[in-house]
Structure formats: structure tokens, C-alpha cells
Amino acid sequence: MDLDIVGLSRLQFAATALYHFLFVPLTIGLSIMLAIMETVYVMTKRPVWRQMTKFWGTLFGINFALGVATGIVMEFQFGMNWSYYSHYVGDIFGAPLAIEGLMAFFLEATLVGLFFFGWERLSKVKHLIVTWAMALGTNFSALWILIANGWMQNPVGAALNPQTMRMEVTSFAEVLFNPVGQAKFVHTVSAGYTVAAIFVLGVSAWYMLKGRHLDLARRSMTVAASFGLASALSVVVLGDESGYLSGEHQSMKLAAIEAMWETEPPPASFTAFGLPNQAERRTDYAVHIPWAMGLIGTRSLTTEIPGINDLVKLAEGRIRNGMAAYDALEEIRSHGYGEIPSELRARFDAHSQDLGHTLLLKAYVDDPRQATEEQIAAAAWDTVPQVAPLFWAFRVMVGLGFYFILLMGVFFWLSARHKLDAYPWLLKLAVWSIPLPWIAAECGWFVAEFGRQPWAIEGVLPVAVAVSNLSAGTVLGTLLGFVALYSVLLVVEMKLMLKAIRKGPVLDAQDRRELKTSPYALPQQTAAKA
């Protein structure tokens, strides 16, 4: 990546997004687990489940606060470093972001406040309703940002107005029910559930190894193992759907993930291992699994998956075709806001689907119509992202996904047989596994976003056109500032989380009353009270 204005703007957004996504998955997953735990408390009236809800709720609250703080900065970045992007697609992108902001910063924040301060003020059932509403609000706030992100990957329900140079909504229903956005939502929230489940499993395992809060730890592990097994299986299944949709709408991303340089006869093989060589446009030491990629990527035995070289040739053709649209666009803009002649409009509409590819030439020449053959060829190859990082990030993500299924399956089996503490080495493995779902989640986010380069909007707006007219020094300064701030926030969160975990559950006045009067209080709980 060149550290010019475009490269620095990309790096800044990537850094803030990856920092933000350290907090989001745990928030999404813990919210549902809190609702499950409190539901059991209301149904069984066992005090330990109330303690569990409040304890994990404390960790949820710490993580939620940091997630909101980092998310606000990302909202403002669209106007800071990506002003032309905001102008170009604000008509479509603005609505989901505005709804997400309302849900995250108002509805969700209000419900979080009721969750923490309503224990003594609301009845059990009313507080449970608040908790479920908070969980649903947390998940649906993610829905809207992922609808917006899904539209960036598959821009449907919109068309370019050549006079205003803005994308305008033609069908909000298509934007809302974009299959890429819907697939990203269910895949992302399932990943969040897995992150939270392994976090709860690992912390509970640590308690069991230390011989502390055993009643809470056992029940938490049971919930985590059950919830986590279902979530980990869902991640794999829904990830397959995301891969299938990538084959339909982002062929270059899929080819880059597989380091597939040449188009293979269907069904294509899956490259389990290899060393992508972008300079030579080949994959060294490749180990293939026959038919696997064809079945996964196309769900058929006869559908072809195009390779990178063929996709570059296709991109070159689209760049040339889009020049006619660019020429018509310049004529339309010369008319101002007056009526566009029908012949001119028809000429623009006939080639407008390729205008975005022609805009790739803006990185080389001000007027794409003046581009040389060498510049056209270079712009076509710009549609190929860096293959090696995508190739390995995807395989790390997939490998960890199957590991999570195995881990959760083992603990689910042990829980069903009441043998969670039978194998201390497995408890240690659970503790050491706590960071792994974050690595998988960050890899997934990297694959999704890095894989669509050089596009800010797939096939519509290149990143080289989307950036603000700022100096590289200005962007570098804000980048360093954001990294410093986010690093401080991350350290603060880690210290607060570790302090809360070491301290363990805290009994309030209501907890003590319930432990004193409840017929379900266990000897260990009564002793802990004393």
C-alpha cells in the first residue's frame, strides 16, 4: 500500500474499524446470553442465575461503553476522510446509518441504563422484558450498519443521477433486503455469539481451575457450551452462504481468496495450502482438494468459477466500455440542470453500468478518455487485491471456525454428563482459547473489506475517487491520534475487565435477601454470603 492520501485514508479507516470490532462481537453475543440467563432466573427463581446475569452484565457494560465510543468516531470519518464518498452515496448510505445511530446511541443506550439501574425498581418480568429488548436492540443496531456495508459490496436499489453526480435510491426495499447484507448480518451476529460463548467458557473455566464461584462457573459453562456450539455451527453454515454470494456478486474477491489465477474446468478444486506469488501470478506448492471449491462456491458440478486472469480481461473490457458513459456524462454535465436530450440520456444509460470501472483511470489521468493502453491495462490489474493476505486470513478464519465447533462440542458433551471439571487440561485449553475468536472475527472482517479493493462501492466508486481533498500529513496526524486514543481505550477496557473478573460476582442487598429466603439456595452460596 502506498502511503499517499488514498493509502493513508484506507489505513485510518481499517485501523479504527478493526479496533471497533474488538468490542462489537462480545457486545452482540453477551446481550443474548444475558437474556437467556435472566430468563432462567425468572423461570426457576434460583438466585445464582440472577448473580450470573449481573456479573456477566457488568462485563457487557464495560465492553458496550467502549464499543459506542469507538463507533462514534467511525461515523464521523465518512465526512472527514471520505467526503466525496459521502456526497456520492449519501442518499442510500445515510438512511441505514441514521437508523443505526438512533438504535445504538439512543434506544440501545437507554435500555442498557434500564438494565443496570432497574434491578431494584422493576419487577422480575419487567426487567426481563428490558433485558430482551436490550439484546434485540443490540443485534438490530448491527443489522443496519451491515445493510449499509452489504450495499457497498452489492449496490442494488440505486442509480446514478448524472446531473447531481449522486447515487439515488430507486428501491429502499432492495437496499433493505439485499441478499449480501442479510447474509452478512446473520454471519456476523453468529460470529459475535461465538466470541461471547468462548469468552464466558474461558472465564468460567478459570474460576473452576481456581476453585472459585463454582456454582456460577458450572452454569455459565453449560450455557456457553450449548449456545456456543449452535453459534459455531451457524457461523460455518452462514459463512458458506456468504461465500456463495461472493461468487455471484464479487467474483474477483472469491478468486483472490482462492488464489485462483486461471479458470479451471468445473467443478473447481479448493486450494488447501499454497504460497501465492502475485508477481509471477501463480500459487507455489499448491495442495488442492478436488471439486471442493466448485461445490462450495457455486453449489453445482457444472458452473465455472472465473480465475483472476480472465476477470482482469473482463475488467479491461468494462473500462473501455465505460468510456462511452464517461463521455456522455461530460456532455450531460455541460447542460447543467436543464432537460437532458433523450439521445444523450440513452447513450449514457447504455454504458452506465461500466462507468465505475472507467473511473479507475482517475488514479492515472484526470480525463479517462485520454488514457493510454498501458494505463488501461494497469487500471484493470488494480481490480486484483493483494492475494496472499486474503488467502491466509481466510484460512486462519476457517480453521479457527472448525476448532470452535470441536471445542464447544467437547464441553457440551462434558456438561451433559456433569463432568466439566473432570479434565483440568481442557479447562486450561478453554482459558487459552479466549483470544482466538477475536482473531477469527478480525480475519473475517479483513477478508470482507480488503477483498473488495480497490472499490469503496463495488463496481461503482473506486477508493481513489472517494477520498477527501486533504493533505497526507493531515490524515497521518489523525491516524496516529486515533491509534493512540483507541490503544488507550483498549488498555482501559482490558484492565477494567480483568479487575471485574478477579473480583467476581458481587452480592447486593436483594441477592442476600434471596439467598436467605430462597429454598433453592445451595450450601456453597450460603457460605459465600457469610
Q: For the segment 111-123, what is each residue's pLDDT rounded down to a tens digit?
A: 999 999 999 889 9
- Name the pLDDT band for 509 (thresholds 50, 70, 90): low
Single-letter amino acid, residue 8: L
pLDDT for position 521: 55
Angstrom distance (rounded) from CA 214 to CA 206: 10
Among the listed ranges 43-52, 304-313, 439-448, 463-472, which one has the minimum average pLDDT value? 463-472
The three three-digit cell numbers of residue 129, written as one number: 422484558
Count of C-beta atoms within a 10 Å radius of residue 424 = 11
Statement: residue 367 has pLDDT above 70 = yes
Residue indicated by cell numbers 459490496: 153
Taking only the tens place, the pLDDT of each residue in 216-227 is 999 999 999 999
Dihedrals phi, psi of 177, to nearest 5 degrees:
-100, 25
Decide: helix, strand or coil at residue 427. Answer: helix
166-169 vs 270-277, strand pairing mode: unpaired
Comparison of pLDDT for 425 and 96, the residue scoring more? 425
pLDDT for position 529: 41
Taking only the tens place, the pLDDT of each residue in 262-283 is 998 888 888 889 999 998 999 9
Q: How far is CA 518 from the centre of its chain?
A: 43
Count of C-beta atoms within a 10 Å radius of residue 206 = 18
Dihedrals phi, psi of 106, to nearest 5 degrees:
-120, -65
CB under 8 Å to 296, separation ≥6 — which residues?
Answer: 240, 243, 244, 270
Instruction: Give the DSSP per-residue string, 39-68.
Output: HHHHHH--HHHHHHHHHHHHHHHHHHHHHH
pLDDT for position 513: 64
Taking only the tens place, the pLDDT of each residue in 134-163 is 999 888 888 888 998 899 999 999 999 888
Listed by start position, the domains of the chain span: 5-252+384-505, 264-298, 308-381
Comparison of pLDDT for 79 and 392, the residue scoring more? 392
The rounded percent of the chain whose pLDDT value lies above 90 is 54
Comparison of pLDDT for 194 and 268, the residue scoring more? 194
Rounded average pLDDT over 363-391? 94
Q: Which H, E and C letters describe 338-388, residue by residue?
A: CCCCHHHHHHHHHHHHHHHHHHHHHHCCCCHHHCCHHHHHHHHHCCCCCHH
Among the listed ranges 167-176, 251-260, 328-337, which one has the minimum average pLDDT value? 328-337
Which of 41, 45, 51, 35 lies closest to 505 in space, CA to CA? 51
Is-cis flag, bond preceding 454, omega within 30? yes
Which of 309, 315, 187 lies closest to 245 in space, CA to CA? 187
pLDDT for position 528: 41
Q: Are 131 and 108 in contact (CB under 8 A)?
A: no
Is-cis flag, bond preceding 389, omega within 30? no
Q: What angle do CA 382, 354, 297 make, to 5 degrees?
A: 65
166-169 vs 455-457, strand pairing mode: unpaired
Taking only the tens place, the pLDDT of each residue in 170-180 is 999 999 999 99
pLDDT for position 99: 83
pLDDT for position 525: 46
Q: Are 344 and 390 in contact (CB under 8 A)?
A: no
- Name the pLDDT band for 110 (thresholds 50, 70, 90): confident
Instruction: State the pTM of this model.
Output: 0.91
Angstrom distance (rounded) from CA 451 to CA 55: 39
Q: Are 465 and 379 in contact (CB under 8 A)?
A: no
- Name the pLDDT band for 428 (thresholds 50, 70, 90): very high
